Amino acid sequence: MGNSVYSPGTLPARLTPHEYEVNFSDINPGLSLHEAMVEADRCYFCYDAPCVTACPTGIDIPLFIRQISTGTPRAAAKTIFDSNILGGMCARSCPTENLCEGACVREVAESEPVEIGRLQRFATDTLMDENIHPYKRAHETGKIIAVIGSGPAGLACSHRLAMHGHNVEIFEEKPFLGGLNQTGIATYKTVNDFAQQEVEWLLKIGGIKFQLNKTVKDLEDLHKLTQDYDAVFVGAGLGDVNRLNIGSDKFQEAVTFIEELRLASDYGNIPIGRNVVVIGGGMTAIDAGVQSKLLGSENVTIAYRRSRSEMGASEHEINLALKNGVKLLTNAVPLGMSGDGTDEKLILGRTEIIGGKIQQIEDTIELPVDQVFMAIGQKLEFGPGSLAIDAGKIVVDSHGRTSVPGIWAGGDCTNLGEDLTVTAVAQGRDAAEDIHRHLSK
């Protein structure tokens, strides 16, 4: 959160070490063997399974659950990884209630879906805990592909290309690999440095090199890469954020807060306000709000400009925030601050939707604040040059091809991105297959 001047209400070490340990423990612990077998037996093993259609990576869910039920979890893991090489992280972070579990026949009939996400985690953890990498590279092709960004899209693309025998070089602007899997997911969803373990496991395929602290941001850099490499894949994500034009040192980026928390060795070193307001309605806002509470904030409010039904976060995540004591204030937009440096309040204006547009009405609300986290969306930081852009994102076709020959893209930076790890994995994988076809001609 940088060197901002905090108010007297913003302090580190609000809780004891034991309280931090409990608060940031695994929100969905892995299943035991017995629990996994019992849960697997609940599956109907549908022939035309709607859960498979609902999975962006198309994992054969009935097959891997049947493999668990027959006592072959390693085979189940292979089934998962064949479609989604980051199946371990997706099992922890996917909004399964909106995807596979939301489409489960048991969910429709009984409102109790098969716990597909936890079964997926059981299978993938079984294989990864044994340090087994079930893939070998094909014979080397002599081709080398540049991959920009090491988030889910970049990693999935790199692994699939390496598996086909190509060589890959990743360019990552941070000092570590992993992208938002490392820095953008709530700490309680992925504990024990799982993201780093998954990266190390994935790299066991071989044929993947990387340059850290390496930035590629403009068309000139891209054109040079197309000359030096046989193909280029852009999986740079959305590196910049939208900002509010309200001057106050209390306004901080929620994504930065979440990253610092994910990388912290001691949660007690993270200062948090007594009174926190989060501006936004997506997953980043929910994660910032919940984790503020877990750090010891007394009052946390998520303020969103539209109604609850229009929030980008899933209903499951919204309910998680409410269960943790986070307040939800809808139809409210920030207008400014009032008070002095020791006793400030955030002024919010009430809104209504009139003619399909947000209109501010006269009513205002004042909330005491020590910190305000902005989570109002991210935008493309990557300088696209001549790449076609739509609504601030790189335009790609269903194969991940951009408007510039030799350059593919996938993940959040594209117009097909959905800000989900699993979608980014699918796009990285599919682009790799198209690159492989192109290079094999």
- The CATH number of residue 332's host domain is 3.50.50.60
pLDDT of residue 3: 39
Contact 332, 348 (CB under 8 A): yes
pLDDT of residue 7: 66
Residue 297 placed within a domain:
yes
Q: What is the distance between the alpha carbons of residues 334 and 304, in angstroms, rounded to a whole number?
A: 9
Residues 251 and 373 in one domain: yes
Structural domain for 85, as ranges: 41-129
Residue 34 placed within a domain:
no
Residues 288 and 391 in one domain: no
Question: In the chain, how many domains are there?
Answer: 3
Residue 88 placed within a domain:
yes
Residue 417 placed within a domain:
yes
- Which helix (H) or strand (E) segment is 373 a member of? strand 371-374
User: Which residue type, as a one-letter code, is found at position 93?
Assistant: S
Residues 291 and 363 in one domain: yes
User: Which residue, of 95, 129, 163, is where some domain finishes?
Assistant: 129
Q: Measured at the alpha carbon of residue 152, what is the angle toward residues 269 and 212, in degrees to the nearest 5?
A: 65
- Which helix (H) or strand (E) segment is 378 a member of? strand 378-379
pLDDT of residue 318: 97
pLDDT of residue 382: 65
What string of pLDDT tens digits covers the 441 residues of the chain? 343 445 668 999 999 999 999 999 999 999 999 999 999 999 999 999 999 999 999 999 999 999 999 999 999 999 999 999 999 999 999 999 999 999 999 988 888 999 999 999 999 999 999 999 999 999 999 999 999 999 999 999 999 999 999 999 999 999 999 999 999 999 999 999 999 999 999 999 999 999 999 988 777 888 899 999 999 999 999 877 888 777 666 789 999 999 999 999 999 999 999 999 999 999 999 999 999 999 999 999 999 999 999 999 999 999 999 999 999 999 999 999 988 767 889 999 999 988 888 888 889 999 999 999 999 988 887 665 678 888 889 999 999 999 999 999 999 999 998 889 999 999 999 999 999 999 998
Phi and psi, residue 260, nearest 5°: -65, -35
**DSSP code of 100?**
H
Residue 135 placed within a domain:
no
Residues 14 and 54 in one domain: no
Contact 287, 258 (CB under 8 A): yes
Residues 349 and 223 in one domain: no
Residues 89 and 164 in one domain: no
pLDDT of residue 2: 40
Looking at the DSSP assignment, which residues form a beta bridge with residue 168? 145, 208
pTM value is 0.94
Residue 30 placed within a domain:
no
Residues 149 and 124 in one domain: no
Residue 341 placed within a domain:
yes
Residues 277 and 339 in one domain: yes
> Which tokens belong to 205?
């395929």
The set of residues, in sequence order, having a beta carbon less than 8 Å from that of 169 and lying 6+ positions away, is 144, 145, 146, 147, 208, 209, 210, 211, 229
The set of residues, in sequence order, having a beta carbon less than 8 Å from that of 91 and lying 6+ positions away, is 117, 118, 120, 121, 124
pLDDT of residue 59: 98
Phi and psi, residue 34, nearest 5°: -65, -45
Residues 248 and 332 in one domain: yes
Residue 93 placed within a domain:
yes
pLDDT of residue 1: 39
- Which helix (H) or strand (E) segment is 126 a member of? helix 116-129
pLDDT of residue 249: 66
pLDDT of residue 225: 94
The set of residues, in sequence order, having a beta carbon less than 8 Å from that of 215 and lying 6+ positions away, is 171, 173
pLDDT of residue 4: 43
Residues 66 and 123 in one domain: yes
User: Which residue, of 333, 360, 377, is where some domain finishes?
Assistant: 377
Residues 153 and 216 in one domain: yes
Residues 359 and 245 in one domain: yes
User: Which residue, of 377, 409, 430, is where some domain finishes?
Assistant: 377
CATH code: domain of residue 75: 1.10.1060.10
